[in-house]
């Protein structure tokens, strides 16, 4: 009889033979419809309810939007200033429960506020978009979907990253903590780009959206401080040479 370790290795070997990338699903955003790697994912293949993939049509566009927005947000944050002591508390927190960590509390508070704001404004946002041409209407609906998808995903991944933060003390970049923080940072980048599209097209909401963007940029900056190696984590499949998300 095989030991649990031997059984696990047997499953890994079978996955490799079938063309799956081992553990690719551990550091993805769980958005199968917009993933370019469903044919490499064992979880997707075994999930009978998984939706058919549409492909990551928006990611290149949002990446360019984010680059254009990033400088403006960094200048705004610099003018407003982030208290260095606030960042230090997030980095050096001795609180064992990640849900009591200052970074998680801030991220969760933001997500709850956005959920409430969207509940009160989603119909109005779509009504405003109806006055635009069909291409812009479609884009607005897509970025609203992105905002809703990642809003609660971000604090969930921050919590997971914080729960293993002491793994980073080993100096190993390939830890679950860094991997969770990296997909969180990717979600933050995409969320910032999505909100930027809304701010550009829906002028009546610009002031509120700008405050949301600045808050997201602060969370992003603080996450990078808490997890300085996260961006260097190599996610199976997504970040490997010759492959693109």
| Confidence label for 62 from pLDDT (cuts 50, 70 and 90) | confident
**Which pLDDT score is estimated for 213?**
93
- Among 175, 223, 242, 187, residue whose Cα is nearest residue 26: 175
Secondary structure of 71-88 as H, E, C letters? HHHHHHHHHHCCCHHHHH
**Residue 7 pLDDT greater than 50, yes or no:** no
Would you give the distance in Å from CA 175 to the centre of its chain?
Answer: 17
Whole-number percent of the chain with pLDDT over 90: 38
| Confidence label for 39 from pLDDT (cuts 50, 70 and 90) | confident
**Residue 195 pLDDT greater than 70, yes or no:** yes
**Which pLDDT score is estimated for 9?**
52
- Cα separation, 19 vs 146, in Å, equals 29
- Among 185, 221, 191, 207, residue whose Cα is nearest residue 77: 221
**Residue 46 pLDDT greater than 90, yes or no:** no
| Confidence label for 48 from pLDDT (cuts 50, 70 and 90) | low
> pTM of the entire structure?
0.82
- Cα separation, 215 vs 111, in Å, equals 11
- Cα separation, 5 vs 13, in Å, equals 12
User: What tens digit of pLDDT does each residue of 93-133 get?
Assistant: 565 788 888 999 999 999 999 999 999 999 988 888 888 78
- Cα separation, 234 vs 219, in Å, equals 22
Six token digits for residue 207: 């002031």
**Which pLDDT score is estimated for 138?**
87
Q: What is the maximum span of the chain, computed from C-alpha positions, in angstroms?
A: 67
**Which pLDDT score is estimated for 153?**
97
User: What tens digit of pLDDT does each residue of 146-169 get?
Assistant: 999 999 999 999 999 999 887 656
**Which pLDDT score is estimated for 42?**
78
- Cα separation, 142 vs 245, in Å, equals 18
Average confidence (pLDDT) over 38-52: 76
DSSP secondary structure of 82-135: --HHHHHHHHH---SSGGGSHHHHHHHHHHHHHHHHHHHHHHHHHHHHTTS-HH
CB 122 within 8 A of CB 176: no
- Cα separation, 245 vs 151, in Å, equals 21
CB 199 within 8 A of CB 209: yes
Six token digits for residue 130: 């109806």
Question: How confident is the prediction for the chain on average, in pLDDT?
Answer: 82
The residue with tokens 């070997």 is 13
**Which tops the pLDDT comparison, 145 or 135?**
145
**Residue 22 pLDDT greater than 70, yes or no:** yes
**Residue 232 pLDDT greater than 90, yes or no:** yes
**Residue 217 pLDDT greater than 80, yes or no:** yes
């Amino acid at each position: 009889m095989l030991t649990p370790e031997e059984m696990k290795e047997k499953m890994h070997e079978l996955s490799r033979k079938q063309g799956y990338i081992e553990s690719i699903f551990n550091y993805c955003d769980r958005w199968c419809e917009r993933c370019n790697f469903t044919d490499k994912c064992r979880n997707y293949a075994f999930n009978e309810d998984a939706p058919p993939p549409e492909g990551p049509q928006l990611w290149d566009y949002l990446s360019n939007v984010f680059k254009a927005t990033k400088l403006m947000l960094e200048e705004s944050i610099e003018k407003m200033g982030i208290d260095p002591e606030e960042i230090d508390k997030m980095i050096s927190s001795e609180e064992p429960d990640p849900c009591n960590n200052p970074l998680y509390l801030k991220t969760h508070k933001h997500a709850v506020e956005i959920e409430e704001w969207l509940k009160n404004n989603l119909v109005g946002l779509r009504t405003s978009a109806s006055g635009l041409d069909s291409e812009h209407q479609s884009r607005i609906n897509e970025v609203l979907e992105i905002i809703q998808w990642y809003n609660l995903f971000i604090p969930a991944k921050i919590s997971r990253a914080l729960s293993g933060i002491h793994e980073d003390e080993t100096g190993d970049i390939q830890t679950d903590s860094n991997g969770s923080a990296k997909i969180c940072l990717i979600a933050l980048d995409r969320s910032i780009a999505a909100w930027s599209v809304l701010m550009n097209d829906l002028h009546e909401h610009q002031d509120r959206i700008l405050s949301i963007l600045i808050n997201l940029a602060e969370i992003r900056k603080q996450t990078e401080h808490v997890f300085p190696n996260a961006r260097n984590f190599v996610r199976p499949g997504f970040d490997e040479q010759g492959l693109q998300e």
